[in-house]
């Protein structure tokens, strides 16, 4: 892992965004860990979050034209990431996002922000992808707006679990489905490796029970690890 990835894991824990316990995912699975981007609550946190996303995008995709944020959590993500790409990397990158319902007055339409143009290289920015549902709703909106190039999808944490197929992760599956690259700031394996026997802000994060439950969850739902 790169230093910024280790910093990101500590940042998620300190922000109470990454927590361990008993939770249920959107797909209905009982999970021993949860990533809730809705717990980033201050300007400083969101600004720092954008810098982590920006670095991951530069590493994975290089230059892109547009960041797209699926409503609602994706909206602040693309705003802060576009700002970080400009401030930290000198790349003034456009952004847009969707409304949940089309607007029938004023400028109208479903998309807000940069008007998509043919040939735009677009990266979708999400918090976490478990089943890929929001991406399957998002891509048709983008392709209906213009003949874009779907450059990729970036998430904060790759949960490395199966979606509809047994042989790949849900993140990789949605990438294959739409012919785009996928990336994450960190994977759940990297999270566990980093936090094992480690304290954040003076407190231990993962206990033996947590590690056992995560291992059992990965055994049941995890995608095959890359060789």
- The range of the structural domain enclosing residue 31 comes to 3-221
pLDDT of residue 105: 46
Which of 18-32, 141-155, 186-200 shows the lowest per-residue confidence on average (mean pLDDT)?
Answer: 18-32
Would 182 be classed as within a structural domain? yes
pTM of the model: 0.92
In tens, the pLDDT along 153-193 reads 999 999 998 877 878 888 889 899 999 999 999 999 999 99
Would 135 be classed as within a structural domain? yes
**How far is residue 191's CA from residue 66's CA, in Å, rounded to a whole number?**
29
Would 162 be classed as within a structural domain? yes
How does DSSP classify residue 162? B
Q: What's the total number of domains in the chain?
A: 1
Would 48 be classed as within a structural domain? yes
Distances (CA, A) of 86 to 50, 73, 91, 158: 11, 21, 4, 25
Q: Which residues pair with 155 in a beta bridge?
A: 184
For 187, other C-beta atoms within 10 Å of its C-beta total 18
Would 226 be classed as within a structural domain? no
Would 77 be classed as within a structural domain? yes
> In the structure encoding, which two tokens stand for residue 180, read together?
């785009």
Catalytically active residues are 103, 105
Which of 20-29, 103-112, 172-181 shows the lowest per-residue confidence on average (mean pLDDT)?
Answer: 103-112
Would 89 be classed as within a structural domain? yes
Which of 94-108, 169-183, 202-216 shows the lowest per-residue confidence on average (mean pLDDT)?
Answer: 94-108
Question: Tokens 């717990």 appear where?
Answer: 39
């Amino acid at each position: 892992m790169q230093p910024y990835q280790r910093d990101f894991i500590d940042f998620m824990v300190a922000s109470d965004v990454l927590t361990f316990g008993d939770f249920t995912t959107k797909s209905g699975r009982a999970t021993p860990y949860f990533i809730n981007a809705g717990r980033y609550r201050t300007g400083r946190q969101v600004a720092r979050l954008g810098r982590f996303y920006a670095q991951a995008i530069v590493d994975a995709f290089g230059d892109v034209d547009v960041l797209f944020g699926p409503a609602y959590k994706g909206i602040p993500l693309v705003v802060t990431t576009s700002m970080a790409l400009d401030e930290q990397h000198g790349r003034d990158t456009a952004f847009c996002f969707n409304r949940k319902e089309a607007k029938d007055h004023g400028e109208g339409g479903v998309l807000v922000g940069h008007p998509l143009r043919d040939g735009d290289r677009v990266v979708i920015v999400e918090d976490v992808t478990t089943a890929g549902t929001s991406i399957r709703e998002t891509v048709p909106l983008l392709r209906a707006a213009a003949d874009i190039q779907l450059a990729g999808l970036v998430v904060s944490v790759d949960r490395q679990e199966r979606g509809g197929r047994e042989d790949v992760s849900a993140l990789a599956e949605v990438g294959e489905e739409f012919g785009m690259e996928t990336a994450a700031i960190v994977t759940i394996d990297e999270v566990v490796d980093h936090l094992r026997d480690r304290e954040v802000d003076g407190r231990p994060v993962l206990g033996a029970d947590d590690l056992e439950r995560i291992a059992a969850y990965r055994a049941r739902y995890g995608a095959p690890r890359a060789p």
